[in-house]
Amino acid sequence: MSRARGAPTHASWAAVALTLCAAVGSAQQATATAAAHGVLAYSLYTGISYVFDSNLDHSQPGLQTFGLLVGIGGECRLRTSSTRFDLQYDGVFRRYLDTDIWNVPGHEASASLEQRVGGRWTLGASGEVAINGSAEDRVLRNEYGVQPQLEYRFNRSNRLLAYGEYLVKRYPNPLGQDGVDPRVGVRFRQLLGERWSWAVSGRYDYNRADSTRYRYIGWTLGADLTNPVGAGGRISSGVRYRIRRYTARLVDVGDTEVLRRDDDWVATVTWNQALGGLWEMVYGYRYERYRSNDARREFRDHLVGMTLRRWW
C-alpha cells in the first residue's frame, strides 16, 4: 500500500516519538534545575489486545473477524505553575483474520502546549499526526492536524473550552477524497469530587475534498461520563451523534435525485482496572449505527475488546 503524498514513513514517526520521550526522560534524571522550576515525568507502556469486530470495514454485508493487536507508546509531561507541555506517541501492529488490507501498523503522535493567562483563562495549541488510521472514521488514511484552543475556568470543577482545528486528510490511493477539514467546537466539563466527571460537546466542520463528490458539512454532538469502580477501577462511557450533509453528491430516492444525507450514532463503554502498580486490564465495547438516504451506505457494527497493558 502506497503512503500519502509527502508523508513520512511509519518507522520514522515511531523513531522520532520514542527518541523524544527518551531524551526528555534522560533530561529528567540529569538536570536538577529543571525540577526546581517544574515537574518533568515520562511513562512508557506495552500492551496486547484481542478483539471481535462484527463489521470491520463498515460496509454491507460487512467483514466479521477476530484480531490481535500489539501496542507500544509513551508520554512525556512537563508541568509548572502556569505551563503544561505534553508529547505523546501510540503505535499499534494489527493482525486480523480473513483480511490483509487492515493488517498494517498504525502510528499516532501529538504535542500540546497550554499556558495559564490570568486567573481563569488558559491558551493552548496542539499538533497531531495519524498514520494508517483516523481518530473517528474506520478508514486507512493519514491525518495531520493543528488545534488552537481557549479555556475558561469558572471554578475548580467547571470548565468551558472553545477550539478550532485544521485537519488535512491524505488517502493511500486517493480517488478525490484527499482534502482539508476545518472545524470549530465547544466543550463543557464538570468535575464531581475527585474521580467523577461528565462533559458535553458540539462541533461544526466543512470537509473540503478534492472532488465535490466527497464534500460535506457536518455537525457533531457528544456526551461522556467517567466514574470510579472500586479500588483502581474506572468506567468511561460516551455517546456521539454526527450528521453529514453532502453539498454536491446526489443519490436516487424513489424517482428523484436528492443530496446525500448521513447520520451516525456511536456509543462506547470502557472499564479500566489496575492490577497492582504496573499492570492494567481494559475491557471495551463500541456500537455504531450508520444511516443514510443512500441505503447502500448503511451499516451496524459491534466491537468488543480486551487489553492487557504493562507500564514501565
Q: Into how many domains does the chain fold? A: 1
Q: For 54, phi and psi rounded to 5 degrees?
A: -80, -15
- β-pairing, 142-153 vs 233-253, is unpaired
In a domain, residue 168? The reply is yes
CATH code of the domain in which 234 resides: 2.40.160.40
pLDDT at 230: 84
- At residue 103, the 3 state secondary structure works out as coil
**199 has which bridge partners?**
189, 224
In a domain, residue 2? The reply is no
Give the single-character DSSP code of 134: -
Q: CB of 217 within 8 A of CB of 201?
A: no
C-alpha cell recorded at residue 262: 448521513
In a domain, residue 176? The reply is yes
Residue type, 263: D
d(CA 165, CA 126): 9
Q: What sign does the dihedral 91-199-39-311 (CA atoms) show?
A: negative
In a domain, residue 264? The reply is yes
pLDDT at 173: 83
Please report, to the nearest 10 degrees, the dihedral formed by the alpha carbons of residues 37, 39, 40, 42 taken in order.
Answer: 180
Nearest CA-CA partner of 131 in 4, 29, 220, 5: 4
- pTM confidence score: 0.84
Give the residue numbers spanning the domain of 294: 10-311
- At residue 22, the 3 state secondary structure works out as helix
d(CA 228, CA 210): 45
Q: CB of 56 within 8 A of CB of 65?
A: yes
Distances (CA, A) of 190 to 156, 194, 203, 222, 223: 9, 11, 19, 14, 12
In a domain, residue 3? The reply is no
**63 has which bridge partners?**
none
Place of cell 457528544: 222
C-alpha cell recorded at residue 111: 504535542
d(CA 241, CA 291): 11
Query: Who contacts 282 (Cβ-Cβ below 8 Å, separation ≥6)?
Result: 270, 271, 272, 273, 305, 306, 307, 308, 309
Q: Give the distance, in angstroms, between the CA of residue 115 and the centroid of all CA atoms in the same chain.
A: 23
In a domain, residue 1? The reply is no
pLDDT tens digit at each of 312 positions of the chain: 333 344 444 444 444 444 444 444 444 443 344 444 678 999 999 999 999 999 998 988 889 999 999 999 999 999 998 999 999 999 999 999 999 888 999 999 999 999 999 889 999 999 999 999 887 787 889 999 999 999 999 998 999 999 999 999 999 887 889 999 999 999 999 999 878 999 999 999 999 999 999 999 999 999 999 999 888 899 999 999 999 999 999 999 988 999 999 999 999 999 999 998 899 999 999 999 999 999 999 999 999 999 999 999
d(CA 153, CA 155): 5
pLDDT at 243: 97
Distances (CA, A) of 46 to 69, 190, 207, 279: 11, 31, 35, 10
In a domain, residue 128? The reply is yes
In a domain, residue 169? The reply is yes
**150 has which bridge partners?**
123, 162
Nearest CA-CA partner of 150 in 127, 119, 121: 121
Place of cell 461520563: 225
CA angle 257, 258, 260 (to 5 degrees): 125
